[in-house]
Homo-oligomer: A and B are copies of this chain.
């Protein structure tokens, strides 16, 4: 069976995986880029976005596990864009430009479905109103035997954790206190009992934790 994986999900020490006040101008809300500095510096991130250089140590090794073996992604609507409620800006095609870094089918969970959008480079956004179980069924079919990545945001990861659908969870503990935003660890008591857990701190100051089974 293909596995369901989460990668590079950064969480503040007080448990927030997204800042408050996301908008088109401020995709990470009041957190700014603070949760992602460790990631933006890596070769893996830079090469995803057509740039060269970047670090090639521990953070990069973890970051680069994001792509290989993945055949589809499921993401929340808030990761796709800043609009809420009915789609008013139909021109919006995500934050990532004409050639998004996914290169697979991407299932965007939303109560407001709309036609799929085919982008360059193999990424197609499908908009579905579905339970985690049904979304995973569709994503697995599209992934043709490869793994499915749950791309976030925190709400979506939490729903999949609560439904016990995740096999590999890579979180990155960033030693900052955001104070507000979207919490990852709500109603996850005893989660660790369903996984093997491994932790290591990288020289950049973040701590990688991998829950796997």
Interface residues of A (CB under 8 A from B): 13-15, 173, 175-180, 185-192, 197-201, 205-207, 209
Bound-state Cα–Cα, A157 to B13, Å: 16
Bound-state Cα–Cα, A110 to B53, Å: 57
| Chain B: minimal CB distance from A122 (Å) | 35
A-B residue pairs in contact (CB < 8 Å), sample of 14: A13-B192, A173-B199, A175-B192, A175-B209, A177-B185, A177-B189, A177-B190, A177-B191, A178-B189, A180-B189, A198-B205, A199-B205, A199-B207, A200-B201
| Chain B: minimal CB distance from A34 (Å) | 9
Q: How many copies of the shown chain assemble into the complex?
A: 2
Residues of B within 8 A of A189 (CB): 177-180
The answer on a CB contact under 8 Å between A177 and B173 is no
Residues of B within 8 A of A180 (CB): 189
| Chain B: minimal CB distance from A209 (Å) | 6
| Chain B: minimal CB distance from A96 (Å) | 30
Residue of B nearest to A209 (CB): B175
| Chain B: minimal CB distance from A168 (Å) | 15
Bound-state Cα–Cα, A192 to B173, Å: 13
Residues of B within 8 A of A186 (CB): 14
| Chain B: minimal CB distance from A159 (Å) | 16
The answer on a CB contact under 8 Å between A179 and B188 is yes
The answer on a CB contact under 8 Å between A173 and B173 is yes
Bound-state Cα–Cα, A191 to B166, Å: 32
Q: Given A15-B14, A173-B207, A190–B185 Cβ distance below 8 Å?
A: no
